[in-house]
Amino acid sequence: MTSHDVTLEWPDGRTRTVEVDENETILEAAECDGSVLPYGCRTGACGTCSGRLLEVEGTRPPNSERAGDGDADVCAVDDAVAYRRLPRALKDRHRAAGYVLLCIASPRADCRIEVGSSVHSELVDNPWK
């Protein structure tokens, strides 16, 4: 069985690397490892579990801060993760910007992912602020 190392990075500077088997999602592996990540539906419909790809085995997702600066190759985000079902909570522009739904995504390569509720806030405006 193939597995990949996924490094989770929180805005406060914490990091944790979890090993994710090809038949489990990043959220499932993180929970087994004792990491607490936000989630809601577990079906890819709500987007609460959104993460943002920072790096995939030495490549950068398109539209990332360093993409195109010549330091790293650019990868296709859809090549970095496989989804169990359609990620309904993400629009095409979100996927193109490197956002992934951790509840239904399995990595196809070692990668680093920004996690936490602030990532979801980047996707959805809060009408209450």
Task: Write out pLDDT tens, residues 5-60.
Answer: 999 999 999 999 999 999 999 999 999 999 999 999 999 999 999 999 999 987 76
pLDDT for 74 beyond 60 = no
- DSSP E strand boundaries for 1-129: 3-9, 15-21, 50-56, 59-60, 73-74, 81-83, 99-101, 105-107, 111-114
Handedness of CA 10, 127, 41, 111 (dihedral sign): negative
Give pLDDT, residue 129. Answer: 61
Alpha helices in 1-129 (DSSP H): 26-32, 77-80, 92-96, 117-123
pLDDT for 127 beyond 70 = no
Percent of the chain with pLDDT over 70: 84
